[in-house]
Homo-oligomer: A and B are copies of this chain.
């Protein structure tokens, strides 16, 4: 039940890209440096997000990545599903990779896990990157005199 590094990095990268929405393509190198994410690893992550339709990319000189749509239309759940796969704790309650359990009629565990899945997806599919950006900005404003550099 742990958020993978992949998802963690993806979220940070997407917050960064949300902050730079509609300012043109941003290069992997820049995100990697600013967010301190291993560059080659980040490459894989952004590629996955592009294939999931969350990002658009431009190859070649002056290429880079940008959000495929406005930050308020990208849900946290979209990202975690793309990178970590299904969210549900057991497959028999998964919307993404559903498969009936062998004792479906009497599976008590199923019922509880359904509750948990709903609780998790409730949070993940309500929270957008616009929300997360706002949270980030708020938390920066709160500490005017801090010496820390800008970090998500």
Rounded to whole Å, the gap between the CB of A19 and the closest CB of chain B is 11
Q: Which residues of B contact A106 (CB under 8 A)?
A: 136, 139-140, 143, 148, 151-152
Answer yes or no: A73 CB below 8 A from chain B CBs. no
B119 A123 Cβ-Cβ under 8 A = yes
Q: Which residues of B contact A87 (CB under 8 A)?
A: 1
Point out residues on A near B: beta carbons under 8 Å: 1-3, 8, 11-12, 15, 76, 84, 86-90, 103, 105-109, 111-113, 115-116, 119-120, 122-124, 127, 132, 135-136, 139-140, 143, 146, 148, 151-152
Query: What are 25 residue pairs bridging A and B, where the CB atoms are less than 8 Å apart in the complex?
Result: A1-B1, A1-B84, A1-B88, A2-B86, A2-B89, A8-B109, A103-B151, A105-B143, A105-B146, A105-B148, A106-B139, A106-B140, A106-B143, A106-B151, A108-B136, A108-B139, A108-B152, A112-B132, A116-B119, A116-B120, A116-B124, A119-B119, A119-B120, A119-B122, A120-B120
